[in-house]
């Protein structure tokens, strides 16, 4: 797992053909907006979170974020235990995100 600043995250993401953005926030937080093209799996779902993550392609590179960077760091640790080798945590999370934002 790598902790990346916003600039590093955006730069690596834009140059990564195998990139998947993963939003691990709650449904309520998702209503505040989200990073475009993000896959949403709420880390607070416990075993269901693990089940959904296990179904993802372990060969891809995951750019993971939450509201502040704490839960996404936990998600990256869980993903590492499940055999994912390329996970990147967004430091500061969505709170400090200055890039594009999408809404439902």
Interval 25-82: pLDDT, tens: 999 999 999 999 999 999 999 999 999 999 999 999 999 999 999 999 999 999 999 9
From residue 84, give the alpha-carbon distance in Å to each of 7, 10, 24, 34, 58: 23, 20, 16, 23, 5
pLDDT of 44:
97
Q: Tell whether 31 is covered by a domain.
A: yes
pLDDT average, residue stretch 19-29? 97
pLDDT band at 96 (very low <50, low <70, confident <90, very high): very high
Alpha-helical segments (H) within the chain: 6-14, 27-30, 47-54, 70-81
From residue 63, give the alpha-carbon distance in Å to each of 24, 80: 11, 13
Asked if 35 contacts 101 with a C-beta cutoff of 8 angstroms, the reply is yes
Q: Tell whether 61 is covered by a domain.
A: yes
Q: Tell whether 102 is covered by a domain.
A: no
pLDDT of 40:
97
pTM for this entry: 0.96
CATH number of the domain where residue 41 is located: 3.40.250.10
Residue labelled with tokens 């590179």: 61
Is 76 tagged catalytic?
no
| Active-site residue, from 38, 66, 75, 76 | 66
Q: What range does the domain containing 54 cover?
A: 2-96
**pLDDT exceeds 80 at position 104:** no
Helix (H) or strand (E) holding 22: strand 19-23
Q: Tell whether 103 is covered by a domain.
A: no
């Amino acid at each position: 797992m790598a902790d990346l600043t916003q600039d590093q995250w955006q730069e690596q993401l834009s140059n990564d053909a195998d990139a998947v953005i993963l939003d691990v926030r709650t449904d309520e937080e998702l209503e505040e907006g989200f990073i475009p093209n993000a896959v949403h799996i709420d880390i607070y779902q416990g075993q269901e979170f693990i089940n959904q993550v296990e179904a993802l392609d372990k060969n891809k590179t995951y750019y993971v974020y939450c509201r502040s960077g704490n839960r996404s760091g936990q998600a990256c640790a869980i993903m590492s235990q499940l055999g994912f080798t390329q996970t990147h945590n967004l430091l500061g999370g969505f709170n400090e995100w200055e890039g594009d934002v999408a809404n439902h």
